Structure 1
Amino acid sequence: MSYDYRIFSFRLLSTALLATGAVNFHEHNNVREDFSADDSPSRYEYAVTEDFFRNFGSPFHVVVAMKAADGGSLLRPKYLDKVIETEDYLQSKLSVPFDGRQITYSDFCESYCETSDVVSIFLNMYREVHIRKKGNVKLTYPSMDVFGNRIYLANNIFQVELNNKLVV
């Protein structure tokens, strides 16, 4: 009986001793700092980018992915209207209190504001051309031309099915 008690006590004491390491464990997970040399070109490029955009701290942005519940296309009229409505709500109508006033994503998105503009432009143009039958714009993928400017869509719109001419 005393032998079982000693084994149990030893295991309990070992577990308690080894668990103390978990209390002081702090995860450090930063690829740029952990896996790049101090004098690497990527560190210099990142510092120049931070200085240029005046973005001090870790840049981040929120991505909201949408998919039709039935697995079909989000470009169907009912779904497309809901996607545009949701995108508009998240961009400019959803607000939170901060320093005694209501702020929206548009108030603090800084260099990331244009990310969702690409999606909004595409969705509204698609609705005008394919659903309302107005306008004569060719919507191509992975990029499209808007008033002489190439807009890259592939970072924001996924699982696209095309005809043989890269037209959505």
Structure 2
Amino acid sequence: MGILRNPIGLFQDFLANCFYHYGLIICRRPRLFTLGPLILTILFSFGILNMRIEDDLRFLYSPEHSLSRVEYQVHKQFSGDSKNNSFVSITIQTNSEDKNLLKKDIAQKLIQLNKYVLEKMEMQVDGKTINFGKEVCSRMKQCELSNTIATIFLDTFWSEKLRKDPRIRIEYPTMKFFDNKFFLPTHFYGVKTGGPLGIQYIDMVHFIYQIPAYNEVGGRVFFFKSLETELLISCPLAAH
């Protein structure tokens, strides 16, 4: 009856007995238990030579024989694509005491920055210097149109002529631009409405780029390295 009253204590005694005898074995063969794990660690560490990084979401999350993989293989044969496209986003804030990005001079710098990325920015890929806009971004229409909504808004907001056009109306969180309707919070955060122009404060600007693969190499890392210097030089902004 005593055993049934305290089954946990019986199990603890069993574990204590096992570890006691295990300790005796280690004490009798100290070299084996010291050198053995070290040798095994060295042998198994050679596996790092076969390590590869896999960030293809289709490979990681879809079943091996799934229909999506079959369709993608067919797509690759016709389009030449060999890797998933990447989305790169940068959040831009000012380093000055006045955190408001809704200023005409800053708006022009943001427009110039986006134009620089899409037309002039160069990337180092496998030791080769390439133009991001001409050799990478041109492979995908969505990339060429990156941040069009943001640049249209910034251009329109500071243009008296465009603001007077009845076909253009800014009513945050949306903007009507002729026959198009844009959702502004995709690119602008920390917005405070009010004032004569309807919006008086923007805390952060969000630029998004959909980047196609280049020669089976994803462009995310190369893109960030190339853009970092330009952000620091072109304007007093901080990008994350």
Which TM-score tier does this pair reach, normalised by the shorter chain? 0.5 to 0.7
Aligned ranges 1:18-167 → 2 under 5 Å:
18-37=44-63, 38-39=65-66, 43=68, 47=72, 54=79, 56-57=81-82, 58-70=84-96, 72-95=99-122, 103-106=131-134, 108-109=136-137, 110-111=140-141, 112-129=143-160, 135-136=163-164, 137-155=168-186, 157-163=187-193
Distance in 2 between the 1:11 and 1:158 partners? 55
Q: Give the letter aligned to residue 115 of structure 1.
A: S
Over the matched positions of the two proteins, sequence identity in percent amounts to 18
Distance in 2 between the 1:27 and 1:96 partners? 21
Structure (1 or 2) with the larger CA radius of gyration: 2
Distance in 2 between the 1:39 and 1:14 partners? 38
1:28 and 1:89, CA in 2 relative to 1: closer, same or farther beyond 3 A?
closer
1:29 and 1:150, CA in 2 relative to 1: closer, same or farther beyond 3 A?
same
Query: Is 2:120–2:131's contact at 8 Å kept on the other side of the alignment?
Result: no
Q: How many residue pairs are counted as aligned between the two chains? A: 153
Query: Is 2:157–2:163's contact at 8 Å kept on the other side of the alignment?
Result: no
Query: Using CA pairs below 8 Å that are at least 6 residues apart, which structure has the higher relative contact order?
Result: 2
Query: Is 1:97–1:103's contact at 8 Å kept on the other side of the alignment?
Result: no
**Larger strand fraction of residues:** 2
Q: Give the letter aligned to residue 52 of structure 2.
A: H
Deviation at 1:6? Answer: 5.4
1:33 and 1:118, CA in 2 relative to 1: closer, same or farther beyond 3 A?
same
TM-score (norm 1): 0.65
Query: Over aligned residues, Cα RMSD in angstroms?
Result: 3.8
Question: Which stretch shows the higher mean deviation, 58-67 or 113-122?
Answer: 58-67
Show CA shifts across 1:94-148 (max 9, x none).
34699xx97451554222211222221111112225xxx8633432344321111
Distance in 1 between the 2:104 and 2:94 partners? 12
Deviation at 1:16? Answer: 0.3
Q: Give the letter aligned to residue 113 of structure 2.
A: T
1:107 and 1:151, CA in 2 relative to 1: closer, same or farther beyond 3 A?
farther
Distance in 2 between the 1:11 and 1:97 partners? 43
Gaps of 5+ in 1: none
